Amino acid sequence: MGKAIHDLVQEHEKIIRVLEIIKKVQENDKISEEALLKFYLELADFIEIYADKCHHGKEEHNLYHTLAPLSGETGKEMIIKLLDEHVQARNLTKLIRSAALVGNISEATSAAAKYRNLLIDHITRENEEMFPTIEKRITLEQEEVIHGHFLAVEKRTLGEGGVARIDGIIKGWETDLLS
């Protein structure tokens, strides 16, 4: 696996860890309404900054286009579907935030569950179909160049020390809500 795809696969693992937290939080009836609303607002921030601006940003601006000229109609269809899912994810994130801001827990819960289902399917397809297709068609040197662009996206969207901050937020949810 080249550097660029490895980077995205690692981000997928982090996002999947958060999808698992969503499931466990929703199954836990001991969490107060106040803590739940706080979680959904923090979750909307995490998705917006990390999963969307950083991770989807890397895919949309630096990766998906490498597939288009290389794999014909199938590749184009795959990209259109993946981009559409990024849009659906953005809409669900807005819904999580707006529901949590007005204290509507059931709507925030429903939007977060939909987001979780959407992303599980999306990430599985990227890992199992899209990434192998790309890796068959570009060289490790090309991936190295793409990885350089990824680092720039990361710096722009997360800032200095951004990854450590994100890790701290995830750990905080696991400690405060689920232990």
CA–CA distance, 150 with 124 (Å, rounded to integer): 21
Count the site residues for Fe ion by CB under 5 A.
2
Residues 6+ apart with CB under 8 A from 154: 54, 58, 162, 163
Contact flag: residue 126 with Fe ion (CB under 5 A): yes
CB of 92 to Fe ion, least distance (A): 14
**What's the per-residue H, E or C state across 74-100?**
HHHHHHHHHHHHHHHHHHHHHHHHHHH
Of the listed pieces 35-43, 54-62, 66-74, 134-142, which binds Fe ion according to CB under 5 A? Answer: 54-62
Contact flag: residue 48 with Fe ion (CB under 5 A): no
Of the listed pieces 31-39, 51-59, 127-135, 163-171, which binds Fe ion according to CB under 5 A? Answer: 51-59
Site for Fe ion in 57-86 (CB under 5 A): 59
Helix (H) or strand (E) holding 148: helix 140-158
Contact flag: residue 7 with Fe ion (CB under 5 A): no
Nearer to Fe ion, 7 or 111 (CB): 7
Helix (H) or strand (E) holding 28: none
Q: What are phi and psi of 2, to 5 degrees?
A: -75, 170
Nearer to Fe ion, 38 or 125 (CB): 125
Nearer to Fe ion, 3 or 38 (CB): 3
CB of 102 to Fe ion, least distance (A): 29
Asked whether 100 and 46 are in contact (CB, 8 A), the reply is no
Helix (H) or strand (E) holding 7: helix 3-27
CB of 58 to Fe ion, least distance (A): 8
Asked whether 143 and 3 are in contact (CB, 8 A), the reply is yes
Nearer to Fe ion, 39 or 64 (CB): 64
Nearer to Fe ion, 7 or 59 (CB): 59
Binding site for Fe ion (CB under 5 A): 59, 126
